[in-house]
Structure 1
Amino acid sequence: MAVSAEMESNSWRDDLASFVEDTGIIFPGDSTTPDLSPKPAPEEEKEAEILKDQIKGFAAAWGELAVELGWGFRDVLQQTILTDDSYIVKKTKPPLAELSHKFSFLNDFLPEDRDPLHVWLVILFVSMLALAVLSVSSKHESAVSSVKKVCLHPPGAERILLPDNRYLAYHEFGVTVDEARHSLIVPHGFLSSRFVTGTLGIKVSLLKEFGVRLIGYDLPGFGESDPHPDRNLNSSALDLSHLAESIGVKGKFWVLGYSTGSLHAWAALKYIPNKVAGAAMLAPLVNPYDSSMTKEELSKTWENWTRRRKMLFYLARRFPKFLGHFYQRTFLSGKHGQLEKWLSLSLAKKDKDLVQTSAFEKIWHRNVEESVRQGNLKPFIEEAMLQVSDWGFSLVDLQVQRKCPRKGIFSWLQFMYGPPECQLAGYLGPVHIWQGMDDMVVPPSMTDFVARILPSAVVHRLEEEGHFSYFSLCDECHRNILATIFGKPQDNRDASFSQWSSGKALKSDTFLNSRVLEITLHSADNRCIEYMKNVTPHLPLSLLR
């Protein structure tokens, strides 16, 4: 009874509501609620439907066109290339028919209502796609598993305070300051640090044998050295000079420039020549845009570089700000990578074999970790710009030339009291260059250019050697280099070309009047003989031994 009464009340309500379109009245117990949300206008609905129909029609038309185009290509192929008279069909049809006959038994496994040719094409396409996906995923997994993250080491470098209140970090190697017979300072190159001596792999025992104090330091913004607000090669040479004074280097010192670090060694020869006893250049880089290079030298310099490296050089010269994008994706990504990839290098076979060894990889990773310690883009961009921009000087300026007073009234008056004195300009000390003839990082054409404009430089061309093979982790090579610039270790000679060229020894009356003259010269001082011949022509040649 109760159920029938409730049904009657609901029907009464429906009858009453039929007289009114929307009363807005909600009866208690009614489960339905009116939809009060605004409804779109009919015109808007029509416009949306028309736009959808247009998009669908456009897509369908393009699909039909693509299908018709495909059928058209098929017809063209069948009527031209795939005819029985065509050369391709005559050559390929017999072997394909034989192959099809051999594998025809596989068609028994296919559905009977399908064309075998179409089925096998689909199977081939899916198989190739699956293999591609598997190869990419396997490469990704192997790459992820082999990637080594950059380790941040605690700070602990020795540092000096420069006159402009910047700190410069350095690392000593070899003998102590009191035991040193020779001091050798090494400015590092791009993506390196004060541990550049470790990259070379020179043994401490060898340095002690020659009495060499080897000093590496961090360039501004690298490692633990403070950045320089306006860095250039002049400021780089001054930093090197302040470092030598602060750590107690006695007398003159030698500079060693390796690869991209050589531009700071060139700057030392230009801006502080009186403090540098000599220079040892290992595969030295010069500005690849130097206007003094001939077309042939430029062509040979650029021809073996990778496209990526050429592009990075161009960006460093024209749009240096864009370099940050590449650096953040490579060595500033927080992960280690291959040397040739990080620096966009192409390597010779000997170099490839060397950089894949665990010993080289260990010292390379340590150098990179120290180089990117501060995680700052600016020092790397500045270093890249210095390589390709105007250095503020040319290597021609280092050429030894005789400078005489200009002609004029003052020089004429001076001539009345005596002939005018001419002075030698340029860098007077010895410069030795070692260059691998298979080097693809710093090509031999750069050394040929240096040898042309600096004829006094001694060039040691290394056959079948690359950019790293002779200079890194090679004890015999290191011994040859040290013996060339410092002489044999048992001789312990103090005489060098810089001392002879200063003329101090030649000004001594006792020296000139002595009947017995004993001069011991090593291979690095061969030019001393020529110098003494010009200054003291009255001495017998037999004494110059």
Structure 2
Amino acid sequence: MISHRLARVVFETEDAELFAVKRPGAWPSYQDYDVEIKTGLSNLPEWELEVVSRNSNKRTEPLHEASTRSHTQERSSSDIFKTILLVVIVGSLAWFYKAIQPPPTGTVGSTGGASVTSSRIKLRDRRHLAYKEFGFPRDEAKFKIIYIHGFDSCMLDSPFPQFLSQALVEELRIYTVSFDRPGYGESDPDPNRSPRSIALDIEELADGLGLGPNFYVVGLSMGGEITWTCLMKSFQGSKHTRLFGRCNSYSSVR
């Protein structure tokens, strides 16, 4: 009571003799606390003792319980509000931290695959096709060539960077692009892969790079089958007009 700095304290009891610590024979154990009780009461600015009946105390119990419930509910509402506020703040900080982070490095295929280091385009079915460019800038090139690798190779095995000199590339303005076929290198796999589906991938690659209506397609080894499929597709109104490459068995790609 002293620590709460109460200005006036009223003690209610059913028997005033309980506080008669000096009364002989009454509550002898209180005599040991005589000095302590008097000291404590002397520190209160104002206090008094009132004798009340048991019925009066019973009437005050509901008020006390109601007050207790009210304080409990207030504390509960306050705790809920603090919890919600804390969750909102933590969530906002987490979102902000994630927003300022650089985009994660892509991976090949499913989650946990190797990191992607090459340029890729996104295809119609959300797969990605990796590609590598070489030669004259494609916007200014005169000859544009798409290279299709064979069975046991990838886009890095294009022969053009090895056999075309820089002088010839600049003189003829030659641009080449090779790509990893689906499931090879850094291109996503295609469960429904076929020579025709890869031809469609090539068409999307050409459109995505803005190669225009005139370019060449060169296929090596098994890449020749895909070249032949591109040739047959060009007869059906495709933008591909000039196609070159050798193929193993063009009868199997119809």
Give me the TM-score of the superposition, normalised by structure 1. Answer: 0.24
Among 247, 268, 272, the alignment partner of 2:234 is 272
Post-superposition offset of 1:197: 1.7
Instruction: Look up the match of 2:216.
Output: 254
Alpha carbons 1:174, 1:204 under 8 Å: kept: no
The amino acid of 1:275's aligned partner reads K
1:272-317 per-residue CA deviation (whole Å, 9 max, x = no partner) reads 3432232222xx23229x5xxxxxxxxxxxxxxxxxxxxxxxxxxx
Post-superposition offset of 1:154: 6.1
Post-superposition offset of 1:184: 0.5
Q: Distance in 1 between matches of 2:215 and 2:230?
A: 11
Q: Distance in 2 between matches of 1:232 and 1:223?
A: 17
Among 170, 188, 193, the alignment partner of 1:208 is 170
Identity of aligned residues (%): 33
Q: Distance in 2 between matches of 1:235 and 1:181?
A: 28
The amino acid of 2:137's aligned partner reads T
1:211-234 per-residue CA deviation (whole Å, 9 max, x = no partner) reads 111010010000100000111111
Q: Distance in 2 between matches of 1:209 and 1:165?
A: 38
Post-superposition offset of 1:159: 0.1
Alpha carbons 1:184, 1:213 under 8 Å: kept: yes
SS of residue paired to 1:170: strand
Q: Distance in 2 between matches of 1:163 and 1:184?
A: 22
SS of residue paired to 1:237: helix
The amino acid of 1:277's aligned partner reads T
Post-superposition offset of 1:200: 6.8
Q: Are 2:129 and 1:165 equivalent residues in the alignment? A: no
Give 5+ residue unaligned stretches, structure 1: 1-152, 291-389, 394-545
The amino acid of 1:276's aligned partner reads H
Q: Distance in 1 between matches of 2:152 and 2:231?
A: 23
Alpha carbons 2:148, 2:219 under 8 Å: kept: yes
Q: Distance in 1 between matches of 2:149 and 2:163?
A: 15
For residues 226 and 154 of structure 1, do their structure 2 counterparts lie closer, same or farther at Cα, with a shift above 3 Å needed? closer
For residues 277 and 202 of structure 1, do their structure 2 counterparts lie closer, same or farther at Cα, with a shift above 3 Å needed? farther
Q: Distance in 1 between matches of 2:211 and 2:247?
A: 27
Post-superposition offset of 1:202: 2.6
**Number of residue equivalences:** 138
Alpha carbons 2:160, 2:176 under 8 Å: kept: no
- The residue correspondences of 1:14-413 to structure 2 (distance < 5 A) are 155-198=116-159, 201-203=162-164, 205=166, 206-273=168-235, 274-281=238-245, 284-287=246-249, 390-391=252-253, 393=254
SS of residue paired to 1:201: helix
Alpha carbons 1:262, 1:285 under 8 Å: kept: yes
Instruction: Look up the match of 1:317.
Output: none
Q: Distance in 1 between matches of 2:221 and 2:197?
A: 20
1:189-243 per-residue CA deviation (whole Å, 9 max, x = no partner) reads 1111112324772335122221111010010000100000111111011000000
Alpha carbons 1:257, 1:279 under 8 Å: kept: no
Alpha carbons 2:221, 2:248 under 8 Å: kept: no
Give me the TM-score of the superposition, normalised by structure 2. Answer: 0.50
Alpha carbons 1:220, 1:227 under 8 Å: kept: yes
Q: Distance in 1 between matches of 2:153 and 2:171?
A: 27
For residues 199 and 247 of structure 1, do their structure 2 counterparts lie closer, same or farther at Cα, with a shift above 3 Å needed? closer
SS of residue paired to 1:173: strand
Alpha carbons 2:134, 2:161 under 8 Å: kept: no
Q: Distance in 2 between matches of 1:179 and 1:204?
A: 18
Alpha carbons 1:241, 1:272 under 8 Å: kept: no
Could you list the runs of 4 or more consecutive aligned residues of structure 1 that deviate by over 6 angstroms after TM superposition? none
Instruction: Look up the match of 1:24.
Output: none
Q: Distance in 1 between matches of 2:152 and 2:158?
A: 14
Structure with higher Rg: it is 2
TM-align CA RMSD: 2.1
The amino acid of 2:163's aligned partner reads I
Q: Which has the higher strand share?
A: 2
Q: Distance in 2 between matches of 1:279 and 1:242?
A: 16
Give 5+ residue unaligned stretches, structure 2: 1-113
Q: Distance in 1 between matches of 2:189 and 2:135?
A: 28
1:10-32 per-residue CA deviation (whole Å, 9 max, x = no partner) reads xxxxxxxxxxxxxxxxxxxxxxx
1:312-360 per-residue CA deviation (whole Å, 9 max, x = no partner) reads xxxxxxxxxxxxxxxxxxxxxxxxxxxxxxxxxxxxxxxxxxxxxxxxx
SS of residue paired to 2:212: coil
SS of residue paired to 1:263: helix
Post-superposition offset of 1:186: 0.7
1:479-529 per-residue CA deviation (whole Å, 9 max, x = no partner) reads xxxxxxxxxxxxxxxxxxxxxxxxxxxxxxxxxxxxxxxxxxxxxxxxxxx
Q: Distance in 1 between matches of 2:163 and 2:204?
A: 25
